[in-house]
């Protein structure tokens, strides 16, 4: 039996701010239980819902040194979906109203968490072959493992994997503060270890000391070795290229299933979507006050409204796009200028544009199920989950060819009748508009071709099972079997 410990700052269903929580919560249950004992460890945040906190079982507590401080470490555990979850308790660090705050407080909080993860292992009597670390919040685990946990037999031979979900976030602060927070000796704060551009960098430490590095798509694994996408760490990632691989995220096919989804108006599947899917569109048009027309092409956007997601491109061509025979449904929050831009166009093109400047899980399901196409023109996208949900719901993605979008959406080829969506290469607003208009042309003039694109999209398998097989292969390779 191979023991694997996932170390993460968030996991569904306990706490979620982004895609990391989906990975940490959904992936562990897809491994073959005959060969892998996968457990998950995360902080016990006060802001978790009472429903979960009341089910956690207290195990024990002890004190641990961190820098100059002696810190309380409480351990709770809980079984969920057949997986054991451990929760690290410390009200000093985890009592805020949300999981993340700001530097340097977050750096101290996750230095504590990283060291506590290693310190609890002998106490809970779990000896992992591999600790699988996720994002900068756990970047110090490979460093501490190399430093103060080398003595004694218990920690000998433990391997680490560092998974980068978004290279933009690295956990950076000045060296002297981080040195006093972490208690690590000066030896670690050099340019070949934790120091980067005169600051200390948690993620860099994880990348330097981990035995293997993964990121969430093949294309992103290549992109981050270039200066445009590398966020200052491209040189290091090139140096570690032999240890770096991309494995695409999945989505939970039980939760995102148009056949059983109770949050949508009308259930459908790959056989019945031609007749049934449109009923969701009519219901959403009614609900949002859009012109009720089952034949009108509806384009959806469910996203954080930020530059990274390509909203400067959308802003540039919005007036032109609204001249077309389309409807646009937007759901999400983010930068004020984009929130206001969509509000403005919803006022200007009433009945055509619906701006829903909030986030709601039921509304996101309705949008995936109702729209004909889904727009995602990201500047960069490590993996992206919205395009996978769109494919699952028979909604045709229109994407820019970057990161996971390039790996998961096959561009439509009119002459060979292949492809699962539409894509463009350059980060250019009119190139995007041209591709949207090509999609409109196929939708209106070649409906049978459009339905075949939907057929192929719904036949794709981006469930977690697919990703789990690739992780299993990596674990076996790292353990040496």
**Residue listed under structure tokens 């009519």:** 282
| Fold equal for 2-250+465-479 and 273-461 | yes
Residues 37, 38, 42, CA angle at the centre, nearest 5°? 145
Kindly list the distances between the CA atom of residue 401 and the CA atoms of 240, 376, 432, 454, in Å, as whole numbers in the listed order. 25, 10, 11, 19
- This prediction has a pTM of 0.93
Could you write out the DSSP letters of every residue in 82-108?
A: TEEEEEEE-HHHH-SSSS---TTHHHH
Quick one: pLDDT band at residue 25, thresholds 50, 70, 90?
very high
CATH topology for the 273-461 domain: Rossmann fold (3.40.50)
Kindly list the distances between the CA atom of residue 478 and the CA atoms of 210, 212, 214, 481, in Å, as whole numbers in the listed order. 11, 8, 13, 8
CB atoms < 10 A from the CB of 293, how many?
14
Cα 225 to Cα 400: distance, rounded to the nearest angstrom: 19
| Residue 151 pLDDT greater than 90, yes or no | no
Let me know if domain 2-250+465-479 sits in CATH 3.40.50.2000: yes
* Residues forming beta bridges with residue 421, ordered by sequence position: 411
Cis peptide before 420 (omega within 30 of 0): no
Region of residue 142 (left: phi > 0; alpha: psi -120 to 50; beta: else): alpha
CB atoms < 10 A from the CB of 50, how many?
7
Side by side, the strands of the sheet bearing 172-174 are 172-174, 199-201, 195-196
Answer for the pair 333, 359: CB distance below 8 angstroms, yes or no: yes
Cα 34 to Cα 219: distance, rounded to the nearest angstrom: 32
How high is the pLDDT of residue 469?
95
Q: For the chain, what are the domain ranges?
A: 2-250+465-479, 273-461
The whole-number average pLDDT for the span 27-39 is 95
**Per-residue pLDDT tens digits for 87-98:** 999 999 999 999
Answer for the pair 364, 385: CB distance below 8 angstroms, yes or no: no
| Residue 17 pLDDT greater than 90, yes or no | no
**Per-residue pLDDT tens digits for 55-103:** 999 999 999 999 989 999 999 999 999 999 999 999 999 999 999 999 8
Quick one: pLDDT band at residue 19, thresholds 50, 70, 90?
confident
SS3 64: strand
The whole-number average pLDDT for the span 105-131 is 97
């Amino acid at each position: 039996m191979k023991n694997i410990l996932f170390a993460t700052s968030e996991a569904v269903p306990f706490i979620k701010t982004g895609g990391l929580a989906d990975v940490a919560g959904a992936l562990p249950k897809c491994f073959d239980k005959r060969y892998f004992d996968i457990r998950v460890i995360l902080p016990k945040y006060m802001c978790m819902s009472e429903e979960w906190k009341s089910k956690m079982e207290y195990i024990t507590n002890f004190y641990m040194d961190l820098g100059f401080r002696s810190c309380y470490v409480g351990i709770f555990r809980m079984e969920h979906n057949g997986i054991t979850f451990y929760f690290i308790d410390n009200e000093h660090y985890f009592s805020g109203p949300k999981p993340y705050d700001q530097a340097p407080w977050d750096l101290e909080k996750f230095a504590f968490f990283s060291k506590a993860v290693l310190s609890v292992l002998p106490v809970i009597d779990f000896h992992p072959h591999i600790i699988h670390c996720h994002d900068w919040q756990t970047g110090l685990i490979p460093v501490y493992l190399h430093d103060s946990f080398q003595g004694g037999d218990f920690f000998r031979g433990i391997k680490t994997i560092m998974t980068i979900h978004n290279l933009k976030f690295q956990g950076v602060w000045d060296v002297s503060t981080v040195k006093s927070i972490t208690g690590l000796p000066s030896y670690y704060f050099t340019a070949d270890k934790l120091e980067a551009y005169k600051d200390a960098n948690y993620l860099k430490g994880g990348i330097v000391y981990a035995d293997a590095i993964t990121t969430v798509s093949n294309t992103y694994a290549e992109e981050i070795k270039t200066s445009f996408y590398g966020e200052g760490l491209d040189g290091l990632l090139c140096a570690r290229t032999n240890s770096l691989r991309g494995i695409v995220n999945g989505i939970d096919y039980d939760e995102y299933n148009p056949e059983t989804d109770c949050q949508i108006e009308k259930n459908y599947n790959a056989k019945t979507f031609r007749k049934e899917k449109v009923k969701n569109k009519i219901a959403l048009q009614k609900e949002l006050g859009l012109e009720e027309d089952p034949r009108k092409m509806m384009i959806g956007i469910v996203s954080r409204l930020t530059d990274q997601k390509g909203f400067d491109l959308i802003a540039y061509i919005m007036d032109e796009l609204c001249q077309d025979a389309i409807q646009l449904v937007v759901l999400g929050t983010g930068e004020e200028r984009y929130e206001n831009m969509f509000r403005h166009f919803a006022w200007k093109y009433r009945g055509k544009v619906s701006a829903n400047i909030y986030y709601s899980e039921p509304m996101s399901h309705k949008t995936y199920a109702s729209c004909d196409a889904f727009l995602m023109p990201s500047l960069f996208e490590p993996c992206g989950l919205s395009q996978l949900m769109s494919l699952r719901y028979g909604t045709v993605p229109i994407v820019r060819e970057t990161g996971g979008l390039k790996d998961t959406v096959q561009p439509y080829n009119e002459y060979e009748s292949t492809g699962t969506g539409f894509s463009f290469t350059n980060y250019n607003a009119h190139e995007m508009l041209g591709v949207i208009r090509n999609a409109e042309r196929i939708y209106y003039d070649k409906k049978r071709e459009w339905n075949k694109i939907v057929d192929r999209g719904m036949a794709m398998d981006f469930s977690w099972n697919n990703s789990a097989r690739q992780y299993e292969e990596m674990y076996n390779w790292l353990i040496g079997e």
